[in-house]
Amino acid sequence: MRRAAILLVSAALVACGGAPKPPQSAPSSPPTPPAAVDRSGLPTPAAAPDWQPPAVSTWTMPNGITVWYLKQDQAPLLSLRLVLPRGAATDPRGKAGLTALTADLLDEGAAGKSALELNEAFQRLATDYGVSPATDGVIVALDLLADTLQPSLALLADVLLRPDFPAEEFERRKTQHLARALASEADPGGTATVVLRRVLFGFGYGSRPAGGVRSTLSALTLADVKAQYAAVFKPKGATLVAVGAVQPHVLKGALDEALGGWEGAPSATPRVVHKSLPAPGVYIADFPGSTQSSVTVARIVPGVDAADDHFAAEVFNRALGGAFTSRLNLNLREDKGYTYGARAGFNRWRQAGFYGLSASVKADTTKASIDEMLGELKRVSGEKPITAQERDEAVGGMLLGFPGRFERMASVAGQLAALALDGRDPDWYRQWPEKVKATSAEDAQAAANRYTQPVERFVIIVAGDRAALEPSLKTLGLPIVPYDAQGNPIDAKAPPAKKKAPAKKKAAK
Is there a domain that residue 354 lies in?
A: yes
Which residue range forms the structural domain that includes residue 390? 282-483
CATH of the domain at 372: 3.30.830.10
Is there a domain that residue 446 lies in?
A: yes
Distance CA 276, CA 487 (A): 18
- Residues 222 and 89 placed together within one structural domain of the fold: yes
Q: Order of strands, edge to edge, in the sheet holding 57-60?
A: 57-60, 66-71, 239-244, 77-84, 138-145, 128-133
Is there a domain that residue 254 lies in?
A: yes
- Residues 251 and 363 placed together within one structural domain of the fold: no
- Residues 163 and 215 placed together within one structural domain of the fold: yes
- Residues 198 and 333 placed together within one structural domain of the fold: no
Is there a domain that residue 297 lies in?
A: yes
The tens place of each residue's pLDDT in the chain, 509 residues long, gives 444 444 443 444 444 444 445 555 555 666 776 777 778 888 877 776 778 888 999 999 999 999 999 999 999 999 999 999 999 999 999 999 999 999 999 999 999 999 999 999 999 999 999 999 999 999 999 999 999 999 999 999 999 999 999 999 999 999 999 999 999 999 999 999 999 999 999 999 999 999 999 999 999 999 999 999 999 999 999 999 999 999 999 999 999 999 999 999 999 999 999 989 999 999 999 999 999 999 999 999 999 999 899 999 999 999 999 999 999 999 999 999 999 999 999 999 999 999 999 999 999 999 999 999 999 999 999 999 999 999 999 999 999 999 999 999 999 999 999 999 999 999 999 999 999 999 999 999 999 999 999 999 999 999 999 999 999 999 999 999 999 999 999 975 555 666 554 444 444 43
- Residues 361 and 255 placed together within one structural domain of the fold: no
Is there a domain that residue 448 lies in?
A: yes
- Residues 354 and 233 placed together within one structural domain of the fold: no
Is there a domain that residue 291 lies in?
A: yes
The last residue of one of the domains, among 226, 259, 292, is: 259
Distance CA 14, CA 49 (A): 66
- Residues 293 and 391 placed together within one structural domain of the fold: yes
Is there a domain that residue 66 lies in?
A: yes
- Residues 145 and 288 placed together within one structural domain of the fold: no
- Residues 426 and 363 placed together within one structural domain of the fold: yes
Neighbours of 376 (CB within 10 A): 23
Is there a domain that residue 245 lies in?
A: yes
**Angle, CA of 403, 406 and 411, to the nearest 5°:** 150
- Residues 303 and 355 placed together within one structural domain of the fold: yes
> What total of structural domains would you count in the chain?
2
pTM of the predicted structure, to 2 decimals: 0.86
The last residue of one of the domains, among 259, 294, 328, is: 259
CA dihedral 315, 321, 326, 327 (to 10 degrees): 110
- Residues 249 and 116 placed together within one structural domain of the fold: yes
- Residues 207 and 80 placed together within one structural domain of the fold: yes
